[in-house]
Chain A
Amino acid sequence: MKRVFPILAVITALLLAYAAYEALVVAPTEQTMGDVQRIFYYHVPSAWTAFILFFINFFASIVYLIRRTMKADIIALVTAEVGVVFCTVVLVTGPIWARPVWGIWWTWDLRLTLTLVLWLIYVSYLVLRRFSSSGQTPLLAAVLAVFGALDVPLVYFSIWFFRTQHPQPVIGGGGSIDPRMLHVLLINWAAFSCFAALVCWSRYRLEVLQREIDETQALEALLEPRGSHTGSAR
Chain B
Amino acid sequence: MTYLYAAYIATWLIHIGYLGRLLLRYMRLGGEIEKLRKK
Residues on A close to B: CB < 8 A? 20, 24, 34-36, 38-39, 42-43, 46, 82, 85, 88-89, 92-93, 96-97, 99-100, 195, 199, 202-203, 206, 209-210, 213, 216-217, 220
Contact = CB atoms under 8 A, between A and B. Distances in A.
A39 B32 CA distance: 42
Contact of A92 (B10, B18, B39): B10
Contact of A213 (B4, B10, B33): B33
Given A89-B14, A206-B22, A100 B1 contact: yes
B12 to A, nearest CB: 9
Dominant secondary structure at the B interface: helix
Contacts of A88: 14
Interface in B15-33: 15, 18-19, 22, 25-26, 29, 32-33
B39 to A, nearest CB: 7
A208 B11 CA distance: 28
A216 B36 contact: yes
Contacts of A36: 1, 3-4
A36 B4 CA distance: 5
A97 B32 CA distance: 44
A82 B15 CA distance: 9
11 contacts: A39-B3, A42-B7, A42-B11, A89-B10, A92-B7, A92-B10, A93-B11, A97-B7, A100-B1, A209-B29, A213-B36
A197 to B, nearest CB: 14
A38 B29 CA distance: 40
B3 A199 contact: no
Contacts of B8: 20, 24, 39, 42
Contact of A206 (B3, B4, B26): B26
B29 A46 contact: no
Given A202-B22, A213-B36, A216-B36, A96 B7 contact: yes
Contacts of A46: 11
A96 B6 contact: yes
A234 to B, nearest CB: 26
Most chain A CB neighbours (cut-off 10 Å) among B10, B11, B19? B11
Given A88-B14, A100-B3, 20 more contacts: A20-B8, A34-B1, A35-B1, A42-B7, A42-B8, A42-B11, A43-B7, A46-B11, A82-B18, A85-B15, A89-B10, A89-B11, A92-B10, A97-B7, A199-B18, A199-B19, A203-B22, A206-B25, A209-B26, A213-B29
